[in-house]
């Protein structure tokens, strides 16, 4: 039987995901560079964390509705809808860039987050619906690799565009419009997924839907661990990624958008490679045994980055290594979420995960604001603090999840 990961439909799925992640990161970095060139330092300390917060907020506000849409309709159809919405949002962004409305562009960032929130449950729900259990880890590894290659390309492109078209930010926005069109084109070639669940219940109150889903999730301790372990990855990624531009500008004394893009791209490259290696090492099982080593190394690398990342070369190496161990830590947990989520409520379970991820990212941006704005800690100090937090959290997991060790022993899962 031909492997599903080698079909045109799966390739189109990867391409569609690539273009979406590319646009998210290109536009966000373009906006960050624009704000850092137009606003004074004190305003930047508020603007940068606020931008991250507004991009993450829709995952909390909209994830419940996105989960219902993913359960109710074909996931392949949801891909097409979300891509058209992306084109609309990018068009609005071009108009605001043209007018130099840097604060209003935060609203576009919120809409981008809403579009990504709509796409996410369908994206990760698509994999277990189209891939066999034996191909699921490998398919997740390829998906993560593709996503983070897009992050690399998007952040690099955003930085380069910011340098080349500084002062003419709307030109960079036009590039994002072109990428959105490409995403629409590839979305039509994704294999059709099974019909949605017509009995899926829509609730106006998103919290109520998440609470109903939580009642299902909490019955499975592996699913609970996967949910909260995975969401910690997004806390680390959000705080590290949002702190990098400040570190580059005020520690490395370099404000070139291309350098910032290279650093962020190094994180994405590392995550993609880590996820790919983890998928290969896991074989036909979920590699739970890689979670704790990956987590410990995440914390160590964060501390090393804060202590020694005083040159572009060293900061780049630390960024790539952190990404690698993040990918190794996260892939088994995200795969476990897909596998253990009940089929009839998979979209809602993944939407709940998105909502929890959003809370983690908001907490990360609040942590950054607290450390820098309130406590006056330098960007290098933020990395050190993050490393300590990671080590404490991984230690907590050691004591809270002894059953996980039993599952990892002997490659049981």
Q: Where is mean pLDDT largest: 182-186, 249-253, 303-307?
A: 182-186
Whether residue 321 has pLDDT greater than 80: yes
Greater confidence (321 vs 198) lies with 321
Cα(63)–Cα(112) distance, integer angstroms: 13
Joined together, the tokens standing for residue 32 give 């960050």
Whether residue 406 has pLDDT greater than 60: no
Q: Which domains does the chain have, with CATH numbers?
A: 4-192+204-408 (1.20.1250.20)
Cα(312)–Cα(309) distance, integer angstroms: 7
Task: Report yes or no: 349 and 64 within 8 Å, Cβ to Cβ.
Answer: no
Supply the pTM of this predicted model.
Answer: 0.65
H and E: helices and strands count for the chain: 15, 0
Whether residue 23 has pLDDT greater than 80: yes
Average confidence (pLDDT) over 219-240: 84
Mean pLDDT of the chain: 79
Q: Output the pLDDT for position 331.
A: 82
* 3-class state of residue 133 by DSSP: helix
Confidence of residue 49 (pLDDT cuts 50, 70, 90): confident
Average confidence (pLDDT) over 7-18: 85
Q: Output the pLDDT for position 178.
A: 92
Minimal CA–CA distance to 31: which of 227, 187, 190, 245?
A: 245
Greater confidence (325 vs 261) lies with 325
Q: Output the pLDDT for position 390.
A: 92
Average confidence (pLDDT) over 206-218: 76
Close Cβ partners of 57 (under 8 Å, ≥ 6 residues apart): 110, 113, 358, 362
Average confidence (pLDDT) over 277-292: 75
Whether residue 175 has pLDDT greater than 80: yes
- How large a percentage of the chain has pLDDT more than 70? 87
Q: Output the pLDDT for position 411.
A: 35
Min mean pLDDT across 80-89, 132-141, 326-335 is at 132-141
The DSSP call for residue 7 is S
Average confidence (pLDDT) over 111-124: 80
Cα(191)–Cα(228) distance, integer angstroms: 31
Q: Output the pLDDT for position 344.
A: 66
**pLDDT, tens digit (0-9, with 9 covering 90-100), for 350-383:** 777 877 887 888 888 888 888 887 788 888 888 8
Joined together, the tokens standing for residue 218 give 């909490």
């Amino acid at each position: 039987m031909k492997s599903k990961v080698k079909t045109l439909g799966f390739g189109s799925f990867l391409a569609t995901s690539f273009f979406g992640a590319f646009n998210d990161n290109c536009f966000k970095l373009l906006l960050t560079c624009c704000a850092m060139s137009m606003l004074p330092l004190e305003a930047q300390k508020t603007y940068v964390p606020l931008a991250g917060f507004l991009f993450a907020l829709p995952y909390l506000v909209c994830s419940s509705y996105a989960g219902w849409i993913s359960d109710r309709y074909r996931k392949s159809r949801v891909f097409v809808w979300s891509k058209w919405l992306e084109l609309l949002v990018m068009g609005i962004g071009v108009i605001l860039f043209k007018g130099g409305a840097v604060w209003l562009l935060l609203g576009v960032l919120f809409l981008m987050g809403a579009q990504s929130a709509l796409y996410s449950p369908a994206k990760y729900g698509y994999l277990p619906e189209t891939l066999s259990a034996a191909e699921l880890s490998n398919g997740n590894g390829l998906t993560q690799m593709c996503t983070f290659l897009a992050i690399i390309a998007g952040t690099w492109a955003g930085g380069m565009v910011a340098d080349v078209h500084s002062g003419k930010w709307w030109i960079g926005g036009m590039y994002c419009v072109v990428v959105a069109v490409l995403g629409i084109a590839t979305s039509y070639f994704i294999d059709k997924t099974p019909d949605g669940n017509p009995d899926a219940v829509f609730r106006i109150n998103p919290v109520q839907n998440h609470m109903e889903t939580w009642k299902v999730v909490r019955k499975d301790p592996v699913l609970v661990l996967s949910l909260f372990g995975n969401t910690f990855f997004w806390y680390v990624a959000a705080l590290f990624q949002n702190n990098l531009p400040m570190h580059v500008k005020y520690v490395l004394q370099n404000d070139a958008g291309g350098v910032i893009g290279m650093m962020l791209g190094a994180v994405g490259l590392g995550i993609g490679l880590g996820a790919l290696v983890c998928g290969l090492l896991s074989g036909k099982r979920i590699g739970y045994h890689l979670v704790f080593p990956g987590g410990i190394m995440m914390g160590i690398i964060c501390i090393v980055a804060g202590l020694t990342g005083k040159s572009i070369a060293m900061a780049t190496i630390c960024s790539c290594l952190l990404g690698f161990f993040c990918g190794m830590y996260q892939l088994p947990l995200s795969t476990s979420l897909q596998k253990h989520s009940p089929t009839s409520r998979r979209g809602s379970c993944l939407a709940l995960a998105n909502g929890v991820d959003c809370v983690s990212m908001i907490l990360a941006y609040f942590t950054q604001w607290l450390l820098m704005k309130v406590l006056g800690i330098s960007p290098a100090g933020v990395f050190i603090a993050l490393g300590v937090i990671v080590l404490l959290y991984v230690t907590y997991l050691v004591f809270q999840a002894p059953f996980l060790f039993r599952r990892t022993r002997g490659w049981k899962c």
